[in-house]
Structure 1
């Protein structure tokens, strides 16, 4: 009986550990809600209502809240990243298409994609307070902030530009031309290069930002519709989704070349990566699915039904970004 009891206790503990696995979140942009995915059964377990057109999401510095930016809803929805419970809604945040916290945790920055400005909110640990609205030019898309919390970089989707904004003064430092329809932007770990996905092309453009002015140094051909990035977790490699080519490319950020590729049907968009780096969770924008891609077997391992136009993807158990 003692041995049997021990087996039962072990089984219960295993079930409890599974139940404690944090969910994977997928934003359904055209349904104003979030799909909550159980990473053990790989089923959608709930839908969370948000404001209109949630596109991107970001974790608060204390990791206690996942912020969903509702672009047409002019609001932020705060969700517990471990339990998927809605915590609160902050209204009056104008057109928050994309968002990012500065590494020093002092600033929340949002890109107003349809209204052509980038907003700087002072963050006190609880509430965002608008400090400055910076007119940027046509269609700011994705943001990146350097590790020193000195500069915000924003792509300009419809004017084919990359803009740098000084955080201390909230003034534009420089702007430079890019390839067609720049989308996501990602900075190399050494702070020297910026990688820009060219959704209107088939490449990732690399800019050297180590000097006073940026310099385009290379275009890495990845696939048509190069769009969103996610770090592989090893400090060297970067995944990019190629929305039109229906693939995901793995880029070596030091060698500046593609070293691997994976199938991702249905218009791959935003991604997250499992803590061990093996699995990519990606929204299939046109297929109403979230795909789980096995980077070892180089194949789609699972396809989970979600809502209309799935976009942002996030989980707490992710590879180092």
Structure 2
């Protein structure tokens, strides 16, 4: 097919079903769900480690993390005693794992030795910590506070808050440009991305980029120049130039678009359709939906080894 949908994709695709406490495994050659992997209670996000050896599911109500092999789709292990992990992120050097305790209003910073986690510090934050992004130097974790409308910077070495700044309504995902100078925050309670200069000792509000109602989650486009943003209420995806900070393309994405993944080559964009129980595949050249795969209730995250280049 011209869209590249039939191109050889060998690694499975993983979609997290938040309301069914499991992960759908999709065969990328046939675009069919081949199995479900049970997880802990109320999983909300899954995440591939920087070394790409594991996909981790954060089980908020089970206080656990489920590690899955991204090649074989087999469970590697479960780590228990991780309190209220809603969102999670490893530092690029994989020395730190940070989790956001969404219900309990804290951020946990863990030391990681390649096998085990050791809690370095539990840090009280604002209301409802939501999404995390860590800079390229593995020094700062940026965390959004969904219900107190803030962006917080956490010093990983010291395990303390460096600064906090007010944002627009209901900040969700956060993306930091590769030069570590600019942070983009999706305002799910609005129709915009808020841009902050984080290059100095104190943050500074730069501008807002109008995208669409329910601005929510980011994913790099694979070309090192653009980032995608899902607009959950508007049912669209915006493509943002990270240099000019402008929307350059908009794609239709029905069913409450949430988390995204870009396949190798950069042409095909996958997005979880949160309210439609589907994984939607978009051809970014034609701006057409080329496939929808039925998954579980409230699909949230999506990851695969056969992805476009990361930032």
- The two structures have a TM-score, normalised by structure 1, of 0.93
CA contact (8 A) 2:240 2:248 kept: yes
Three-state SS of the structure 2 residue aligned to 1:97 is strand
Q: Kindly state the Cα deviation for residue 63 of structure 1 after the two structures are TM-superposed.
A: 2.1
Paired residues, number: 304
Check if 1:105 corresponds to 2:94. yes
Q: Kindly state the Cα deviation for residue 143 of structure 1 after the two structures are TM-superposed.
A: 0.4
Match in the other structure for 1:86? 75
Check if 1:287 corresponds to 2:276. yes
Residue 127 of structure 1, aligned match among 94, 116, 122 = 116
Higher relative contact order (CA 8 A, sep 6+): 2
Three-state SS of the structure 2 residue aligned to 1:275 is coil
Cα distance between partner residues in 2 of 1:155 and 1:61: 21
Aligned CA RMSD, in angstroms, stands at 1.1
- The C-alpha deviation readout for 1:14-47, integer Å capped at 9, x for no partner, is xxx96x8111100000000000111111011101
Residue correspondence of structure 1 range 135-284 to structure 2 within 5 A: 135-284=124-273
Q: Kindly state the Cα deviation for residue 60 of structure 1 after the two structures are TM-superposed.
A: 2.9
Check if 1:312 corresponds to 2:289. no
Q: Kindly state the Cα deviation for residue 211 of structure 1 after the two structures are TM-superposed.
A: 1.4
Give structure 2 stretches of 5+ with no counterpart.
1-6
Structure number, greater radius of gyration: 1
Cα distance between partner residues in 1 of 2:62 and 2:132: 20
Q: Kindly state the Cα deviation for residue 128 of structure 1 after the two structures are TM-superposed.
A: 1.1
Cα distance between partner residues in 2 of 1:60 and 1:295: 26
Three-state SS of the structure 1 residue aligned to 2:258 is strand
Residues 276 and 95 of structure 1, relative CA distance in 2, 3 Å threshold: same
Match in the other structure for 2:3? none
Q: Kindly state the Cα deviation for residue 62 of structure 1 after the two structures are TM-superposed.
A: 3.3
Q: Kindly state the Cα deviation for residue 104 of structure 1 after the two structures are TM-superposed.
A: 1.7
Residue 118 of structure 1, aligned match among 90, 107, 112 = 107
Cα distance between partner residues in 2 of 1:280 and 1:40: 16
Check if 1:24 corresponds to 2:19. no
Runs of 4+ in 1 over 4 A off after TM superposition: none
Three-state SS of the structure 1 residue aligned to 2:85 is coil
Cα distance between partner residues in 1 of 2:184 and 2:40: 31
Give structure 1 stretches of 5+ with no counterpart.
1-16
- The two structures have a TM-score, normalised by structure 2, of 0.96
CA contact (8 A) 2:48 2:303 kept: no
Q: Kindly state the Cα deviation for residue 61 of structure 1 after the two structures are TM-superposed.
A: 3.9
Cα distance between partner residues in 2 of 1:115 and 1:72: 11
CA contact (8 A) 2:120 2:159 kept: no
Cα distance between partner residues in 1 of 2:281 and 2:12: 14
CA contact (8 A) 2:171 2:186 kept: yes
Cα distance between partner residues in 2 of 1:62 and 1:191: 21
Q: Kindly state the Cα deviation for residue 88 of structure 1 after the two structures are TM-superposed.
A: 1.4
Match in the other structure for 2:30? 41
Cα distance between partner residues in 2 of 1:189 and 1:232: 13
- The C-alpha deviation readout for 1:68-88, integer Å capped at 9, x for no partner, is 111111111111101111111
Three-state SS of the structure 1 residue aligned to 2:76 is strand
- The C-alpha deviation readout for 1:194-250, integer Å capped at 9, x for no partner, is 000000000001101111111111100000000000000111100000000000000
